[in-house]
Chain A
Amino acid sequence: MVIELERVAMSYGGSELFADISLKVQAGSFHFLTGPSGSGKTTFLRLCYGALLPTAGQVRLFGQDVRDLGRDGVAHVRRRVGVVHQDVQFLDHLSLADNVALPLTVSGRDTPDQMDNLDELLNWVGLRPRAAAFPAQLSGGERQRAALARAVIMSPEVVLADEPTGNIDWDMSQRLLTLLVELNRMGTTILVATHDMNLIRAAKSQVQARVLRISGRRLQLAGADL
């Protein structure tokens, strides 16, 4: 099991976002996570890569309780879990290529071999011509694709994507979806948070995906309505 949540509750300060959530994410599966704005999708994903600790219950990543990880442990988990954030952050003084290569750099794996991979990867997301550009010079779609490339450069076992199509047009959204589906076909576990129902519908024709919905502080399996 890649990610397991057991009776997890989460609250910031006083108000409880959700309670008693249990979920098992199997290796190689494809999940969507939906819910209204503010329902806690981003919070849920943060729980799934060790950026947050649940207020109650247990989160296990690759079988390990996140409470036992410590900072270095979390750092190691992040090398196995690629994350595309809702508000993508780059280092503004580094080029796009350097930013995408960051996970390699900080783990000391920036070998020439891996750098060839980088080239291939940039090609895969269609950003090779923009490799030398700085983050400030990129469009929203380019940033999202760069974020995806950065998330997968370590060949992670899991990719968590938070609104990866948040601010891009439909064509670009579909391109990104295709990239995620391709990754899933190669065995990567995918969890995508989105409120874009069209995207979920489009995905259903390409891949077997479970759709989870946060509603009324609970996690429900949706799908019948899709």
Chain B
Amino acid sequence: MTRLRNFLAALAALVIGDPQADRLVPPTGFTARLTTFAAGAMAFLAVFALALSLAAGRLADRWSRDLAQASTIRISAPPEERAAQTAAVLRILEATPGVVAARALPPDEAARLLEPWFGPDLPLDTLPVPQLVEVQEAAVGFDPQGLRLRLSAEVPGAILDDHTRWRRPLVAAAERLRGLGLMSIGLIGATTAAMITLAAQAALSANAQVIAVLRLVGAQDRYIAQAFVRRFTLRALTGAAVGVALAMVAVLLLPAAQEEAGFLTGLGFQGWHWLVPLAIPPLGALVAYLATTAAARRTLTELP
């Protein structure tokens, strides 16, 4: 913990300069810990908002990929007309814009599809199992209404089953969720800025006497501001680093399961996405830096 803090202090000194300035403002103890805590809590929340938004993004991507893939056309016809109707359907599909490919499922594949419902020993020959045609859509999709009309005109026994289309609103929802996640991150950032502004302003006002003495001995406002900026930036950085570390452990400990199993269990990070939360502490420090700089500039011009 102290080593982490030393490292962060060195890092900050590199960015904001003179650690002496920090020493000139009396230590604040309790309120300092509050700032660190708030930054930590916000970083913790930000990690989850990030996880949510990344997971929602993955879901949206996968579902829209599935959507692009398949609809089916079911042909229920007497055995002797079956081949002809299948050929007719394939011909129609070839001429339908938005269809990438179409394929009549051979009987054994159809059997495999039915297996979960009827068991492996299904006597396919004796059952009126419909012929299935798998339709691959392009990303833009085809016009299901138009296709249905043409099918009913030319191949009365063919029924278009675009069962995956029900997922379209889900994709939209997942995309919305991703957006909301990103918006939450923005709000968390803004709240952090607001909290740090308040804390910095309070600290500046509480130290009006110290500021007066520093001015007396020839300190420029830039120098005085730096003392506060350094302090709050360091606190935000430390707090956010701890918050992110804890949140990532929490995400890591989420019960693992196949992503397919559901949205909730897929809420972790995947691959290089594990690196994204590491950007939160520097960003938090940046927010603190900007908020404190602005607060200091305002307060110092107001002080006599």
Contacts and interface: CB of A to CB of B under 8 A. Distances in A.
B215 interface: yes
A91 B218 CA distance: 14
Interface string B202-225: 000000011011111111111100
A91 B210 contact: yes
Q: Which bucket holds chain A's interface residue count?
A: 20 to 34
A137 interface: no
B26 interface: yes
A105 interface: yes
Interface in A82-96: 83, 85, 89-94
A75 B213 contact: no
Given A90-B213, A93-B27, A102-B24, A107 B218 contact: yes
Contacts of A102: 24, 213-214, 217
B222 to A, nearest CB: 8
8 contacts: A71-B221, A89-B209, A91-B210, A91-B213, A94-B23, A94-B24, A103-B218, A106-B21
Interface string A143-155: 0000000100010
B216 A83 contact: yes
A93 B26 contact: yes
Given A78-B216, A92-B26, A93-B27, 11 more contacts: A75-B221, A78-B217, A78-B218, A91-B213, A94-B23, A102-B213, A103-B217, A105-B24, A106-B21, A106-B214, A106-B219
Nearest to B209: A89
A107 B224 CA distance: 11
A89 B212 CA distance: 9
A156 B137 CA distance: 84
Interface of A: 71-72, 75-76, 78-79, 83, 85, 89-94, 102-103, 105-108, 110, 150, 154
A79 to B, nearest CB: 4
B20 interface: yes
B66 interface: no
Interface residues of B, number: 21
B217 A108 contact: no
Contacts of B61: none
A94 B213 CA distance: 12
Nearest to B219: A106
A75 B214 CA distance: 10
A150 to B, nearest CB: 7
Contacts, number: 55
B154 interface: no
Nearest to A106: B219
B219 to A, nearest CB: 4
Contacts of B26: 91-93
B27 A106 contact: no
B143 interface: no
Given A89-B212, A91-B210, A106-B223, A76 B218 contact: yes
A144 to B, nearest CB: 15
B18 interface: yes
A14 to B, nearest CB: 19
Contacts of A79: 218
A110 B218 contact: no
Most chain B C-beta atoms within 10 Å of own C-beta, residue among A71, A75, A78: A75
Nearest to B227: A106
Contacts of A71: 220-221
B83 to A, nearest CB: 92
Nearest to A100: B217
A106 B221 CA distance: 10
Contacts of A85: 216
Given A89-B209, A91-B26, A105 B20 contact: yes
B170 to A, nearest CB: 60
Interface string B23-36: 11011000000000
A218 to B, nearest CB: 28
Contact of A110 (B20, B221, B223): B20
A92 B212 CA distance: 13
Nearest to A75: B220
A78 B217 CA distance: 6
A154 B218 CA distance: 10
Given A93-B26, A105-B20, A105-B24, A150 B221 contact: no
Contact of A75 (B18, B20, B212, B218): B218
Contacts of B214: 91, 102, 106
